[in-house]
Structures are given as C-alpha cells and as structure tokens.
Structure 1
Amino acid sequence: MFYGFAATAVLVVHLGFIVFVLFGGLLATWRRWAIAIHLPAAAWGFAVEATGTGCPLTPLENALRARAGMARYEGGFIEHWLLSVIYPEGLTRDTQYALAGTVIVFNVLVYAWVFGRRKGK
C-alpha cells in the first residue's frame, strides 16, 4: 500500500512540477522570491523537452508502481498521462521542440509583463 501511495504522490508532484514550469512565473506577480525557484525549474523543463531526455521522476514512479504490484507504463510521464489528452496521435521530436518553445515563449511573456508592471510602480 505504501508503494502505491508513493507512486501516486510522485505522479502528483510530477504534474505539479509541469504546471509550475509553465505558470510559475505568474507567482512573481505576487511574490518576487518565486523567480529564484521558477527560473531553474523552467530551464530544467526546457532542457528535458529540447534534448528529449526523460525526467527522473518517471523511472521513480515506475519503480514504485512495480513495487506496489501496479502496472508500469511505457514512455515518459507526458506520453502516458497527458499525451492522450493533449496530443492524441503521439509525441514526436517536433512536438517536444514545440513544447520546449512554449515553455520559453510563455515564460518570457510572463516575465516581461511582471518586470514591466514592477517598473511602472
């Protein structure tokens, strides 16, 4: 039971991290210290997508699922849990490049807005 709970916890953390990579810059509008945490997280998210390497949370989750007697899944977190919702036909390198670009463009826009707003005050 512990390993099943731990696998689910890793899954939730993984999803939370992805959301933070995309939207964590918005915390800077509220708490400036969030920048110091978000920029390295966004850089990691960009690097994982741009290089096609897997996130270390996926093998950890799979190991925990195996210890719990749950079915392991093939591929990475995005392919297994999110791809069918976001990209039903499969994850390609071009899609990964697009995701990496989305991380950069979205966060550049957020930080431009945050710093532009702070400059105006």
Structure 2
Amino acid sequence: MRVVDALSPASASLLADAILALHVGIVAFVVFGQIGILIGAWRRWRWIRNFSFRAAHVALLLFIALQAWLGRLCPLTVWEQTLRARAGQDAYAESFVEHWLSRLIFFDAPGWAFVAAYTAFAALALACWRWAPPQRARPGE
C-alpha cells in the first residue's frame, strides 16, 4: 500500500498545497537568487559569495536542467499531482514551471523551449560561479 493511499482526500489536498508552496519557494530562490548574484557581483555584495548559498543555487539549477533534458517532471510536480489525484482534484500534465508560467503570463511554448530556458539559466549560474566565485568562510567568521 502506498503512503498516499492511506491519506484522506482532505489531508492529500493539504499536503499537495504544502508541496506547491515549497515549489514556489524553490522557484523564487532560483530566480531571485540569480538576480541577486548578478546585481551583487556588480555591486560587490559579500553575501552573494557565500559558498553554501551558491552551491545550493547551482545544484538546483543543474538538477532542473538535467530533469528537463531527460524529459522528466520535477519530483515535486509528480508528488503534488499524485496528491491532487488522491484528493479528487485536477492535476496538470506538464512541468510545474510550464503550467504556472503559462497561467501567469499566458505564454504557450513547446517543451523544447523550456529545456533551452532551463539550460541557459543553468549556464548563467555556472558563468556567475566563475565571474563572481563563491568563497568558503574562514575559521572564526
């Protein structure tokens, strides 16, 4: 028996909403983090060189790009859809970003366009790694 099957529809709906909120937070971290890195490198902000922040940021972008290249949906999207189905709600078939981006700005594009966008965004993050490299904290800082 799958764990999802043991959930009540109301619990599944609540958990799906929590996963959606987490997903939105991750998207915000990736997008606004990249904006912060670009501006921060230009303005010489020290926080953008934080190694943990930068490593998490580039790792997420590489994971997102890899998932797109493999033609797979994000695990958060899959979990949310499974929970929405358990709750008796409609689920969407495309990726999280593709679905919500289409809804937010009425943008419709083929899947390859999103693969290209994810790849370009990951390449930008890697270029920033070289342009404004992160620094590990020194002992005592």
Aligning the two structures, in what range does the TM-score lie when normalised by the shorter sequence?
0.7 to 0.9
5+ residue gaps, structure 1: none
Q: CA deviation at 1:50?
A: 2.9
Q: Residue 33 and residue 79 in structure 1: after superposition, are their counterparts in 2 closer, same or farther (change >3 A)?
A: closer
Structure 2 residue identity aligned to 1:110: C
Native 8 Å contact 1:18 1:45 kept in 2: no
Letter in 1 for 2:92: Y
Structure 2 unmatched ranges of 5 or more? 1-9, 38-45, 136-141
CA-CA distance at 1:55 after TM superposition: 1.0
Q: Tell me the equivalent position of 2:40.
A: none
Q: Deviations over 1:18-73 (max 9, x none)?
A: 33334445395163322332232121012122333211111210111122222222
Structure 1 residue corresponding to 2:126, chosen from 79, 99, 108: 108
Asked if structure 2 preserves the Cα contact closer than 8 Å seen for 1:28 and 1:114, the reply is no
- What is the one-letter code of the residue matched to 1:13? L
Is 1:62–1:72's contact at 8 Å kept on the other side of the alignment?
yes
Structure-2 change in CA distance of 1:111 and 1:23 (3 Å): farther
Shift of the 115–59 alpha-carbon distance from structure 1 to 2, 3 Å rule, reads closer
Change (3 A) 1:103 1:83: farther
- Give structure 1 regions of 4+ aligned residues with deviation exceeding 6 angstroms: none
**Higher mean C-alpha displacement, 75-84 vs 60-69:** 75-84
CA RMSD, aligned part only? 2.8
Cα–Cα, structure 1 residues 86 and 44, in superposed 2: closer, same or farther, change >3 Å? farther
Alignment-derived partner of residue 4 in structure 1: 13
Name the CA shift for 1:37/1:98 in 2 (closer, same or farther; >3 Å). closer
Aligned equivalent of 1:31: 50
Change (3 A) 1:70 1:94: closer
Distance 1:79 1:93 in 2: 11
Taking structure 2 as the reference length, what is the TM-score of the superposition?
Answer: 0.64
2:93 aligned residue: 74
2:74–2:95 contact (8 Å) kept in structure 1: yes
TM-score (normalised: structure 1): 0.73
Letter in 2 for 1:111: W
| Whole-Å separation in 1 of the counterparts to 2:127 and 2:27 | 18
Distance in 1 (alpha carbons) for counterparts of 2:115 and 2:76? 18
